[in-house]
Amino acid sequence: MMEGTSSAPAPAVKEARIALSGFDKSRSGSLPVTPSVLDASRVRVVEKEALGAAADHEAIEAKFPKCYGKPRVEFEASDVEGFFTGKGAPLRIGCVLSGGQAPGGHNVIAGIFDSIKARSPDSVMIGFLDGPHGIYTGNYIEIDDARMDLYRNTGGFDMLGSGRHKIEKPEHFLQSMQVCTALRLDGLVVIGGDDSNTNACLLAEYFLQNNCATKVCGAPKTIDGDLRNTYIPISFGFDTACKVYAEQVSNVMTDALSSQKYYHFCRLMGRAASNIALEVALLTGPNVCLISEEVAEHSQSLSGISKNIAQIIQQRAQNGKDYGVVLLPEGLIEFVPEFHLLIEEINDILAGDTHADEERVVHALSFNSKAVFSYLPQDIKSQLLLDRDPHGNVQVAKIETERLLALCVGAELELLREQGSYDGSFRPQFHSFGYEGRCAAPTRFDAAYCYAIGRTVGMLIAAGQTGMMASITNMLKPAAEWTCGGVPITMMMNMEHRHGKDKPVIKKALVELDGRPFQRFTESRDYWALADVYRIVGPTQFSEDLPGSFAVPLTTRLEFAKTPAEMPPPLMATGDHDSYLVDGRNKPILIFNAGPTMSDVSTARQAYEPQLPACLGTNGVGVSAYLGESVQNAAYADEEAANKTLPLTSAERPLVTLAVPNAADAKFHRGTPVDPTSGPFRIGVAYCGRQSPGGHNILVGLSRAVEARADGSQLIGFVGGTSGIISRSYIELNSGYLELFKNTGGFVALGRTVDRIRGTAVASTIAACRDLRLDGLVLIGGSRTASDGAKLAEAMETEGVSTTVTAVPCGADGRMTNVFVPISVGFHTMSSVTASLVGNLAIDASSARKYWYFVRCIGGEASHIAAEVALTTQPNAILIAEEVAARRQSLGDIVRYLADIVAERAEEDRNFGLVIVPEGLLPAVPEVGVLIAEIDDLFKTQTPSSGRAFTVEEVIPSLTAWSAALLQALPVFAQEQLLLERQSDGKLQLQQVETEKLLAVLVGEELKRRKNVGQYSGKYSFVNTFIGYQARSSMPTNFDAALGLAHGVAAASMVFNKLNGYMTALSNLTAQPSKWIADAIPMVALLAGKALEVVPAKLAMDSPEMTLLREVRESWTHQDAFVNPGPLQLHDASVTRPTRISQGKRDYLLELAKVREALTRVHRALRPGVDQGVLQISRSSLMNLVEIIATLERGENTMDEPDVAATIFKQRIMRDTMAPKPVNGMNKMPLKIEEMSGDAMDMAALREEKA
């Protein structure tokens, strides 16, 4: 709005969310608990003591002569005096979301809205768009009931958008006053953190000095927790963010305990303060948590910090522990003396210069800073030089401090190794938890707190208050008893030197080293360092019936507790464990006898009882095995090879249905069940594959079935999986122990090592089973486990060993699926938790409107999880590895495709978005796949000089010219990650390769090229993240809890019925668990290829989910259709249903049953005497079908690719039902396969085309 303008600016048009999840809809109707004073019919404004400033009183008073020294106020219900909170003159209030996002901002707006609308329906609520910039430019919308109801209890700031602009220039203040005057605003509410509320106070002072009627008040927002004092006990959003981070840290801890081989370094958002790190530490109990304020207090150098951590790791190694969890705040690097100086110098050197030149910067650095800078890895140097905020300062949040710290710790450990005092293995993993916590759905506490803030600030303005911040105190009492009022913003201020000037700012509330929260931490950390007391936090819950769902943050409780009853108990556990040496490890596997440390959520979760399929009776008692027909391999050539290689287990291979007698839903019964074998039985079980939610419930199911026999049967668990089998390391499993782990994530109950029973391990496994007198061996894992299990079963029979081998399909990546197994244990949870985090990032993108999020989803070489997450969250772009491979798209093709999307959205002023990348993308890119294969081969024949990773110089001479050129063209971080040591199967560790970062960097380079030639004018800034470890050991959904339990009972039943070489399978999964059907599938029928392996399932191009993705993803490119499914709700009936992917798959056995039923009807109809016309039609149709089947079988025998004949056949029958449709971007030609048409097929043409 220009100077001198008095007419009101017209409202803008801002699109609202166009898609809501079921979770959002359920939460939108939930009214937060409200302090009773806010619902009183008459309220008295009580003035309390006058307050000055946090420091520099005279300077603050000079800056704020009108606002300084005001008394704080409290609202009290009164029947005698005070203003009426009900009907009154309408108010016009504007609000703005300022600074970074924090959960609950929408509820602050809802509180203001309800407050003024209750006063008068004619009241008007104005929302300024995209931060403070919207105030002085007059960019706003009017908030009505429909828009407000859409955003209640939701996370993010996308209702209005946020921004980090400041009202600081004289013209900004004048224009802001003109806009507020023209809009006739009674009040303006600034919803923001310390800097934003400082700005609010400056605006209030300016308005007062210029007789502007608009009152200005603030709401305390920041997830960092650094806006806090006696009257603002906590800033909103802190609780939600901490719980999101704590859940992820807790899952990482569970994952660490399961494999016991990694040190996880987790960086937590929080700016300069360590409040988040401290809260998360108190919630979870890490082995190490660094507190920046303590580092500064003791002037700890990076070397000193690294030595301290190395000493803890050394002590843990002496105790048999080569794993652990380290937490560090993102602002840590600023508090390390040498880095603090380095950052200050870089900021000064680059002031006003947006093009950083490393040589120029190094030349200008002081001698000491130059030494520190030269020591840093190239990635960290780039982050210090290139990633700067709008003010030219280093963006601390983007510095990968966790990698730098691990590098230094590793160097210290090597020194200790050289001295002979350390013999451990240090394998660091890196995590950065931040942006996904800013826009999560607010917890019940934050939802209520924010709504109360909104109601309070609305009343402050109605009472004529200005320069005040809403204050809610007495928060350790029930919400109805909270005290509401306001405090002058000036009471929080001091003077600070910024950008060469002394400026008034709200003093940041850092961790107080003499405060009770930090003291509680120091009392516990030495114990946590060595004893693993990791607490299972679980996902944030919203059920009012769940204890702890409305919990005040621990640091707040510790700080403000007045009685012992209000003090939270310390996080302690015995940490008692037994040690078991297993094959191939120089450190034992530890088994914690007392089970995991529980939270309110996990305790309630442990009590949940999953439903068991009716066909399995009561814990498997009386289940019989009904023999069906022989199961064929998918390809005839594979069946011939299996019959020749595995003759004993291939002889009959019947499909078996497991059911108690007369179970109505049992299918494929043939004759009588197998003769039961009397017990007692002795069963062994091992975790072979990687961690997967629901895995513990498999053990619970096995245990319950064994104990239900009451005949002395035993269940033993091999510690460390396959290595434990070989070394005969096991524990007796019983319900008393396993019930401690029911419905929890990870494989902590037994641990795991490698997924390998082949070569010499086969003989060792057979010997162990014979010596331990096992009647059955149950192997839990994915396709590799099933492959080994099939061959082990044959070897058992060959050697005359009576132990049966059973496999349970368990794999979070979704690759252990086939026609019989529509979904493996853990996939539902993994995809749900991942989607929840991605949904948070999506809303963050649409709130800040300045970041492109590149998110890599775990999943191995398949894209099942990425596709599922995309269908749930609706990103702007989704890459599918299988599609890239099918289209033979190069890395350049992918980069250009993504750059096109970024550029197209930039033309619509959408310089933000969300890209989902599958973990297995790079091997699917032809030229990169060749490079990876060549490096894989090098690891088979050569040993890196460093022991674990090759250098570029080492591999270049051995690579082909094109692969060498490609490797050298990649960024340094990508080169190093591609050259890391391989997995136990000899393949690249995909989880260690930051594919999403590589794509984001290359897209940036392509956009820079386009900008140089005038083809792009937008802004591009990216944030990359990987979601893997923080999800795969999550607490299982109800569906996975029931699926794991059912598979466990089914596996025991298979042993009891002496079925060898079988895999458990459950079908009819779209029904309730009680109606699921249990079958046993001969593993030999699943083998394929020259190596006769169970091939991991890729995402089929003609699958229902791919068909749906192709139909909708183009629309996601240009519009923001983001959906946030919310955190996993364990009480919600929806979590018992399988995913879209499993729902999209037809139930194979039920379909087969329908076909068999149709054949029976045909057979019955074609008896002697049938009408001749019917006979002729039947003959023609059936002969066509016979020839089609024969053609397909011949195609499988004679063609290199088994599905070629089927593809030709499908293309023929689709000729009238499908036509190529040109689609934008990657979707050039749909690959959707429709159902077969009924037309007769031109077999001559088929033979000609086949030839």
- For 232-277, how does the pLDDT look when each residue is reduced to its tens digit (9 = 90+)? 999 999 999 999 999 999 999 999 999 999 999 999 999 889 999 9
pLDDT at residue 1103 in the model: 86
> Does one domain contain both 722 and 635?
yes
985 included as an active-site residue: no
Pick the closest to residue 683 from 697, 704, 659 (CA basis). Answer: 704
pLDDT-derived band at 920 (thresholds 50, 70, 90) equals very high
In a domain, 273, yes or no: yes
Amino acid 1130: pLDDT: 87
Give the residue from 597, 596, 530 showing the smallest Cα distance to 287. 530
The annotation status of 221 as a binding-site residue, yes or no, is no
Judge whether 815 and 1108 are in contact, CB under 8 Å. no
pLDDT of 929 above 50: yes
In a domain, 934, yes or no: yes
Q: Which domain holds residue 288?
A: 246-330+399-439+512-566
Residue environment code for 207-228, b if the CB has 16+ CB neighbours within 10 A, otherwise e: bbeeebebbbbbbbbbbbbbbb
Residue 312 included in any domain: yes
pLDDT at 120 > cutoff 60: yes
Judged against a pLDDT cut of 70, whether residue 667 lies above it is answered with no
Residue 793 CA to its chain's centroid (Å) = 37
Average pLDDT over residues 1147-1169: 87
Q: Which of 153, 174, 134 is nearest to 3 (CA)?
A: 174
Return the CATH number at 270.
3.40.50.460
Q: What is the pLDDT of residue 1135?
A: 61
- 227 shares a domain with 174: yes
What is the model's pLDDT at position 1188? Answer: 86
Cα 432 to the center of its chain, rounded Å: 12
pLDDT, tens digit, for every residue of 493-517? 999 988 778 999 999 999 999 999 9
| Residue 574 annotated in ligand binding | no
Q: How many CB atoms lie within 10 A of CB 182?
A: 15
For position 1195, what pLDDT does the model report?
A: 60
| Segment 216-225, tens digit of pLDDT | 999 999 999 9
982 is in an annotated binding site: no
3 state DSSP class of 189: strand
Q: Between 673 and 422, name the one with better pLDDT.
A: 422
Q: Are residues 502 and 532 in the same domain?
A: no
Q: Give the residue among 970, 974, 961, 855 at the shortest CA–CA distance from 918.
A: 855
For residue 918, give the H/E element and its range.
Answer: strand 913-918
702 with 749, same domain: the answer is yes
Helices (H), 735-782: 735-738, 760-771
Q: What is the pLDDT of residue 1231?
A: 31
Residues 6+ apart with CB under 8 A from 1163: none
Number of residues that this document lists for the chain: 1251
Compute CA 626 distance to the chain's CA centroid, rounded to the nearest angstrom.
41
943 pLDDT above the threshold of 90 = no
Structure confidence at residue 1225 as a pLDDT band (50, 70, 90): very low
Asked whether residue 271 is marked as a ligand-binding residue, the answer is yes
In angstroms, the CA 387 to CA 929 distance is 31
Tell me which amino acid residue 573 is. Answer: A
Number of domains the chain contains: 5
pLDDT at 12: 87
Question: Dihedral sign, CA of 832, 837, 843, 846?
Answer: negative
Q: What are phi and psi of 1149, to 5 degrees?
A: -65, -35
What is the mean pLDDT of the segment spanning 838-842? 98
**Which residues is 328 bridged to in the sheet?**
267
| Mean pLDDT value across the chain | 90
> Which of 506, 533, 552 delimits the end of a domain?
506
Q: Is residue 386 part of a domain?
A: no
* 473/1131: higher pLDDT: 473
**3 known member of a binding site:** no
1207 pLDDT band, cuts 50/70/90, is very low
Distance, CA of 229 to CA of 472 (rounded, Å)? 11
CA angle, corner 755, sides to 754 and 761, nearest 5?
Answer: 90
Q: CA angle, 469 as apex, 463 and 475 as ends, to 5°?
A: 100
pLDDT in tens, 696-716: 999 999 999 999 999 999 999
What is the spatial distance between Cα 762 and Cα 767, in angstroms, rounded to a whole number?
A: 9
Tokens linked to 195: 């800097």
Give the pLDDT score at 373.
86
> Has 438 been labeled as part of a binding site?
yes
Check 24, 56, 130, 224 and give the catalytic one: 224
Contact 922, 993 (CB under 8 A): yes
Whether residues 623 and 539 share a domain: the answer is no
Beta bridge partners of 267: 328, 432
Query: Per the domain annotation, does 576 fall within a domain?
Result: no
Of the ranges 75-84, 809-818, 853-862, which one carries the lowest mean pLDDT score?
A: 75-84
| Average pLDDT value for residue range 833-848 | 98
Confidence of residue 982 (pLDDT cuts 50, 70, 90): confident
Structural contact between residues 431 and 263, judged by C-beta atoms closer than 8 angstroms: no
How much is the pLDDT for 389? 61
| Residue 1111 annotated as part of some ligand binding site | no
| Domain final position from 461, 483, 506 | 506
8 Å CB contact between 505 and 494? yes
Q: Dihedral of the CA atoms 59, 60, 61, 65 (nearest 10)? A: 120
Domain identity same for 1228 and 1184 = yes
Is the pLDDT higher at 663 or at 755?
A: 755
What pLDDT score does 1203 carry?
43
Maximum average pLDDT range among 337-341, 346-350, 601-605: 601-605
Portion of the chain with pLDDT greater than 90, in percent: 76
What's the Rg (C-alpha) of the chain? 32
The stretch 531-538 carries a mean pLDDT of 96
Phi-psi region at 1129: left, alpha or beta (left = phi > 0; alpha = psi -120 to 50): beta
436 assigned binding-site residue: yes
pLDDT band at 355 (very low <50, low <70, confident <90, very high): low
Where helices occur in 125-262 by DSSP H, the ranges are 133-137, 145-151, 170-182, 194-209, 238-259
Least confident piece of the model among 43-47, 686-690, 1131-1135? 1131-1135
Closest CA to 455 of 728, 113, 127, 146: 113
Regarding whether 411 and 462 lie in a shared domain, the answer is no
Confidence of residue 548 (pLDDT cuts 50, 70, 90): confident
> Quick check: is 8 in a domain?
no
pLDDT of 639 reads 95
**What three-state secondary structure class fits 965?**
helix
Contact 969, 931 (CB under 8 A): no
The torsion defined by the Cα of 370, 376, 382 and 383, in degrees rounded to 10, comes to -100
Q: What is the largest CA-CA distance in the chain?
A: 112
Burial classification of residue 341, based on how many CB atoms lie within 10 Å of its CB (0-12 exposed, 13-18 middle, 19 or more buried): middle
Band (1222; pLDDT cuts 50, 70, 90): very low
Residue 382 included in any domain? no
The pLDDT assigned to 353 comes to: 57
For residues 49 and 42, is the Cβ–Cβ distance under 8 A?
Answer: no
Q: Do residue 229 and residue 276 come from a single domain?
A: no
Asked whether residue 213 falls in the same domain as residue 165, the answer is: yes
Q: Is 741's pLDDT higher than 70?
A: yes
Distance CA 62, CA 1088 (A): 82
Q: What is the DSSP letter of 341?
A: H
Pairing of strands 654-659, 624-630: antiparallel
Residue 160, domain CATH? 3.40.50.450
Q: Which of 1078, 1113, 1131 is the last residue of a domain?
A: 1131
Residue 1018, φ and ψ in degrees, nearest 5: -85, -175
Bridge partners, 536 (sequence order): 598
CB 171 within 8 A of CB 181: no
Closest listed residue to residue 905, CA positions, set 941, 825, 851, 960: 851
Residue 1149 confidence (pLDDT):
81
Residue 1026: CB atoms within 10 A of its CB come to 23
Mean pLDDT of 147-167: 95
Please say if the pLDDT value at position 1132 is more than 80.
no
Is 254 within the bounds of a domain? yes
Averaged pLDDT, 1113-1142: 83
In this predicted structure, what is the pLDDT of residue 1190? 82
Judge contact between 238 and 372, C-beta under 8 A: no
What value does the mean pLDDT take over residues 193-203? 96
Residues 654 and 718 in one domain: yes
Residue 501: its pLDDT value, please? 85
1208 shares its domain with 1242: yes
468-473 vs 483-488, strand pairing mode = antiparallel
Does the annotation place 910 within a ligand binding site? Answer: no
Q: Which of 720-729, 779-788, 831-840, 1134-1143 has the lowest mean pLDDT?
A: 1134-1143
Measuring CA to CA, which residue among 136, 48, 123, 126 is closest to residue 85?
123
- Does 617 share its domain with 699? yes
Tell me: the pLDDT tens digits for 1043-1087?
999 999 999 999 999 999 999 999 999 999 999 999 999 999 999
Task: Render pLDDT for 313-324 as a digit per residue (tens, 0 to 9).
Answer: 999 999 999 999
Two tokens, residue 69: 């020294």
